[in-house]
Amino acid sequence: MGYRWDGKKNSLFFSIQENNYNSDGLIKFLKNLKKHRKGKKIILVWDSLPAHRSKKIEAFIKIQKWLTVEYLPAYAPDINPIENAWSNLKGQELANRCENDLTELKNISKKGLRRIQFKKELLNGFLHHAGLFFD
């Protein structure tokens, strides 16, 4: 999720892939994020997923002048706003569903992510529910 310090233009930038994210997939995601944000400076707050801290990712981040990464503590989903977004998606579009294949699951997930993508109040709620605020 992307938050501006002044609360304007909050948005969710997402990518869905069928396999687990690894270093190469995350680098591709970061390159797409840079392109989407037109190279503007970004502070990325990541959880402590091992792939987020791989040597390949660390080397990539080190040479990106547009990107600063801050890590949340390990095992702290309660302070990670994206967990609130997943809960919202699971309680809405994914509630009581059992898809027949990954394509159906991917499509309904995209629908839910698009629903919340630009809803400033909802995105701010995810941030505040995690106990995080901009001063």
- Ordered by start, the domain boundaries in the chain are 23-129
Could you tell me the pTM of the whole model? 0.81
The 10 Å CB-count burial string (b at 16+, else e) for 119-132 is eeebbbbbbeebee
Tell me which residue of 59, 15, 65 sits closest to 39, measured CA to CA.
Answer: 65
19-69 pLDDT, tens digit per residue, is 888 999 999 999 999 998 888 888 888 998 899 999 999 999 999 999 999
What pLDDT is attached to residue 65?
94
Give me 82's structure tokens: 């994206």
**Cβ neighbours of 113 (radius 10 Å):** 19
CATH topology for 23-129? Nucleotidyltransferase; domain 5 (3.30.420)
